[in-house]
Amino acid sequence: MSSKSAAALDRRTNDGGAGFIGYLTVGYPDLETSIEAGHALVDAGVDIIELGLPYSDPGMDGPVIQHTGQLALDAGTRTRHVLRAVEALSGRVPVLVMTYYNPVHRYGVEAFARDLAAAGGAGLITPDLIPDEAAAWIDAARAHDLDRVFLVAPSSTEARLASTAAACRGFVYAASTMGVTGERSTVDGTAEGLVARTRAAGAERVCVGLGVSNAGHAREVGAYADGVIVGSALLRALGDGISSLRHLATELADAAHTARRPA
């Protein structure tokens, strides 16, 4: 058993750069367009796709992701549609579903893992689930060969960093700043230190999200992280059409892939 997302990141970091991970809300602006947007990301050079499962109480998300999620819910997007999008895209790049844990719990943890694996999914990112409370998901993920991606933040203690690194498979998601997701004018200065601390705690791969919105950010973060995660900026571009999304994604991918760590 091996991690699809880890393999995708390793291909980039072995070349000296970083991976580019793009987030899309399934069902925004509609299901078929969100799948088309996923294909556009792959064409632009994305290494891993995160597909967001729309949720009615997205307390950790910023305004763009909240807005797109609500539109998707209003249009009738449900878990089965997310799995359909996974199936449509997973033959091209690893696809991780990013979801609050309640939909997984309500679906049935074992059933969710089974159906995600059957759709070709690589695993889950669970922003509101900590390893201490994730035994059921960890067991199901192991049984179905799925990645488990948990989050760390600047406030995480060394003990929390170590337990999270040990529980993850694929990579550790480093939230670059405290607060909700969304675009920012600069990437928080604590991000590089958080990546270093997380690696020191045992993480093999650390990817950075929250606040990355342009090629300059991607190049900056790619110089020290294994992957650069972008969500809100891509969704904002998608609001202007697939061509705008593809253009921004190409710039972000090129920046991440050509970022170079100091010797």
Helix axes 242-258, 31-44, angle to 10 degrees: 30
What's the confidence (pLDDT) of residue 211? 79
Whether 50 sits among the annotated catalytic residues: the reply is yes
- Tokens for 33? 């367009």
Query: SS3 string of the chain?
Result: CCCHHHHHHHHHHCCCCCEEEEEEECCCCCHHHHHHHHHHHHHHCCCEEEEECCCCCCCCCCHHHHHHHHHHHHCCCCHHHHHHHHHHHCCCCCEEEECCHHHHHHHCHHHHHHHHHHCCCCEEECCCCCHHHCHHHHHHHHHCCCEEECEECCCCCHHHHHHHHHHCECCEEEECCCCCCCECCCCCCHHHHHHHHHHHCCCCCEEEECECCCHHHHHHHHCCCCEEEECHHHHHHHCCCHHHHHHHHHHHHHHHHHCCCCC
CA distance 196 to 191: 9
Per-residue pLDDT of the chain in tens (263 residues, 90 and over written 9): 789 999 999 999 999 999 999 999 999 999 999 999 999 999 999 999 999 999 988 777 889 999 999 999 999 999 999 999 999 999 999 999 999 999 999 999 999 999 999 999 999 999 999 999 999 999 999 999 999 999 999 999 999 999 999 999 999 999 976 444 444 445 657 899 999 999 999 999 999 998 789 999 999 999 999 999 999 999 999 999 999 999 999 999 999 999 986 65
**pLDDT of 183:** 43
Which candidate in 61, 115, 147, 220 is catalytic? 61
Residue among 10, 47, 50, 87 flagged as catalytic: 50
Set out the domains of the chain in order of their start, with CATH numbers: 4-253 (3.20.20.70)
